[in-house]
Amino acid sequence: MSMDRDLHAGLEPGLRFAMLIAPDGGVRDLRWSEVETWKPGDGFLWVHLERDELMAKTWLCEHSGVDPLVAMALTAEESRPRVEDVGDSLMVVLRGVNKTRQGDGEGGAETELVPIHIWIEAERCISLRDKAHSLNALRDLRLAMMIGKGPRTAGALLARIAEKVVDHLGILTDEIEDSISDLEDRIGEGLAGTDLREDIASARRKVVQLRRYLAPQRDALYRLRHDDASWLDPEAKMRLREVNDRLIRHIEDLDEMRQRATILHEDFTNLVAERAAQSSNRLTALAAMVLPPSLLAGMMGTNIGGIPGSQEPLAFLVLCGVVLGMMPITYLILKWIKWL
């Protein structure tokens, strides 16, 4: 089967793609008209919709057979990861990672968290995401199913979606850890500056934002692996347990990175304070060096009688020599008392 079939998405309003897994294991794409006439006996159906498209909302609320309250929840703006069971079906909200290209040069990709809403039952899976965002995890999974290597049942599909989402989260945590390691190297080299402060703040924000969504996602996956839906077979639960364990490791890594980012901020603050203290010490030492000559020159410049050398033609040169001679002596004294 051709690998470029994954490009056949979004050809109809509101429908990113629809896949039918026939009882004999074959996989084929469906259009809106075929989705509307689908029956459970035809095979397992996976429909992926654009959540904010009117046609998708209309089909979900009026023609899909999904409970109206569930349909409202699937199209709601709330994207906090969670799991709700409705009879023998499940409503699942997860968050995945996607990279959006911002330009053609280096560093032209930006990472974003994309919510995915899922309604899954024994014979059908309906997933939704915003039209403006894509999710590479689903694209990879769909491609695997097209070439015959993907899941064929509801439980296996849900487990693979969760696995792909967590795998891509791992890529993001690795990138954040690399950036924090780079910041630690820059701190160690003493490269303090405004850009370093901004980079540390950006890394801390990324860690906090990702940690905020991974904690409820961990709870959602834990609940999934203990759900008693009839189609959630032991193999799928085993895979979900492995995915949950992997997610817990990511969360532990994020906790460690948050501590490292906090230490980085403290080190940066100390480095800036140390540099400010060094600059202040240098200015103080400079003022101390010029104080004796300034005092002498000020006394010799008073407009009163009795100034030594006022009648001598070489007195000014002598005074300049004395002033210049006092400066290295003052420098050596400051060096001796460790001010410099």
Q: Structural domain boundaries of the chain? A: 1-151, 277-302+309-336
- Listing DSSP states for 221-260 in one string gives HHHHHT---TT--HHHHHHHHHHHHHHHHHHHHHHHHHHH
CA–CA separation, 14 and 49 (whole Å):
6
Percent share of the chain, pLDDT over 90: 30
Q: What are phi and psi of 129, to 5 degrees?
A: -150, 165
| pLDDT given at position 103 | 46
Q: Decide if pLDDT at 19 tops 60.
A: yes
Question: pLDDT averaged over the chain?
Answer: 82
Under the banding of pLDDT at 50, 70 and 90, the label for residue 77 is confident
Q: What is the pLDDT of residues 283-324, one digit of tens each?
A: 777 777 777 777 777 776 666 666 776 677 777 787 788 777
Domain at 1-151: CATH code: 3.30.460.20
Q: What percent of the chain has pLDDT over 70?
A: 88
pLDDT in tens, 26-64: 888 999 999 999 998 899 999 999 988 889 999 999 889
Above 50 in pLDDT, residue 107?
A: no
pLDDT of residue 203: 87
Give 214's pLDDT tier (boundaries 50, 70, 90). confident
pLDDT in tens, 145-197: 888 888 889 999 999 999 988 887 877 888 888 989 988 888 877 766 667 88
In Å, what is the CA distance from 88 to each residue of 72, 111, 171, 334? 19, 35, 34, 83
pLDDT score at 45: 95
Residue 241 banded pLDDT, cuts 50, 70, 90? very high
**Does the pLDDT at position 198 exceed 80?**
yes
Are the CB atoms for 148 and 1 separated by under 8 Å?
Answer: yes
Q: What's the pLDDT at 3? A: 41
Give pLDDT, residue 125: 96
